[in-house]
Amino acid sequence: MKILVPIKRVVDPNIRVRVKSDQTGVETANLKMAINPFCEIAVEEAVRLQEAGKAKEVVLVTIGGSQCQDVLRTGMAMGADRAILIETDAALQPLGIAKLLKAVIEKEAPNLVITGKQAIDDDNNQTSQMLAALLGWPQGTFASKLELNGDHAVVTREIDGGLETLKLRLPAVISTDLRLNEPRYVKLPNIMKAKKKPLDVIKPETLGVDFAPRLKSLKVEEPAKRKAGIKVANVAELVAKLKNEAKVI
């Protein structure tokens, strides 16, 4: 079995993101970058399946500039066998990303695709669903548990009412939630070994895909600052303010 894991390079989640002065996006210059946390969980799950003898090869793929090679090397240091970089500096949106990934998947022919459920930079939570639709494959989103059994995958996913268990025929697309696993700490020897693992760079034009943006961001703003609270003398005053000022009751 071959597992393909798409990953994304984002601003390190421990860094506070600031909006650009012209409100066209967020500042990324000179900031520490890292694998998107949900993508890191996807890589960990794929590597664990390989270690358990369920898969023979784990392949990573990302889309972006040449600087994205660093997250691919990190993923290979976690245990992935090789990586593919679709190199482009163009603006990308979920549908275009899904189309590019579909073209790579058709060439690589994996049995399973594991993605992060969303990227922490834009929070779209769309790519894995669009990818499954374009491929015509079964999908299991927000997976908190994954088991492979022959030509099927059993996915436990979190829903508002509790847990839902799905049985999917492979090949399939699965997106990971936070409780699926805890990614391993990458050790220095593995980082050195990852430098020797194969990393292929391809241009999106060679895939014959139209990934032009369909949407335009008009403005990016920081959330409004939280106002200070007030003290009330008694319950009657609290109820009055909730009813007349906050208008929540």
**Measuring CA to CA, how many Å separate 3 from each of 59, 82, 93, 113, 118?**
6, 11, 24, 6, 19
Residue 113 has a pLDDT of: 98
Calculate mean pLDDT across residues 87-97.
Answer: 92
Band the pLDDT of 220: cuts 50, 70, 90.
confident
- Whole-number Å distance between alpha carbons of 155 and 47: 17
**Is the Cβ–Cβ distance between 116 and 38 less than 8 Å?**
yes
The pLDDT of residue 214 is above 90: no
**Measuring CA to CA, how many Å separate 36 from each of 2, 33, 43, 123?**
22, 9, 11, 11
**Judging by DSSP bridges, how do beta strands 152-159 and 199-202 pair with one another?**
unpaired
Residue 168 has a pLDDT of: 96
Q: 51 in a domain, yes or no?
A: yes
Residue 158 has a pLDDT of: 86
Q: 249 in a domain, yes or no?
A: no
Band the pLDDT of 122: cuts 50, 70, 90.
confident
Q: 175 in a domain, yes or no?
A: yes
Residue 41 has a pLDDT of: 97
Q: 66 in a domain, yes or no?
A: yes
Q: 179 in a domain, yes or no?
A: yes
Residue 230 has a pLDDT of: 86
Q: 35 in a domain, yes or no?
A: yes
29-56 pLDDT tens trace: 888 899 999 999 999 999 999 999 999 9
- Whole-number Å distance between alpha carbons of 204 and 193: 28
Residue 216 has a pLDDT of: 86
Residue 42 has a pLDDT of: 97
Report residue 110 as tokens.
Answer: 């994996």
Q: 52 in a domain, yes or no?
A: yes
The pLDDT of residue 224 is above 90: no
- Whole-number Å distance between alpha carbons of 24 and 20: 6
Band the pLDDT of 217: cuts 50, 70, 90.
confident
Residue 10 has a pLDDT of: 93
**Measuring CA to CA, how many Å separate 167 from each of 47, 103, 153?**
21, 26, 6
Band the pLDDT of 239: cuts 50, 70, 90.
very high
Residue 20 has a pLDDT of: 86
**In the beta sheet, which residues pair with residue 148?**
153
The pLDDT of residue 24 is above 90: no
Calculate mean pLDDT across residues 100-113.
Answer: 96
Domain residue limits at 82? 2-244
* Residue 193: partners with Cβ closer than 8 Å, 6 or more residues away: 77
Residue 15 has a pLDDT of: 85
3-state secondary structure of 174: strand
Report pTM: 0.86
Residue 91 has a pLDDT of: 84
Q: DSSP secondary structure string, 27-43?
A: --TT--EEE-HHHHHHH
Give residue for tokens 């374009």.
134
Q: Which helix (H) or strand (E) holds 234?
A: none
Nearest to 44 by CA among 16, 73, 5, 9: 5
Residue 60 φ then ψ, to 5°: -100, 150
CATH of the domain at 98: 3.40.50.620
154-197 pLDDT tens trace: 999 988 888 999 999 999 999 999 999 999 999 999 999 999 99
Q: 239 in a domain, yes or no?
A: yes
Residue 27 has a pLDDT of: 81
**In the beta sheet, which residues pair with residue 233?**
none
- Whole-number Å distance between alpha carbons of 34 and 40: 9
**In the beta sheet, which residues pair with residue 174?**
114, 140
**Number of domains the chain contains:** 1
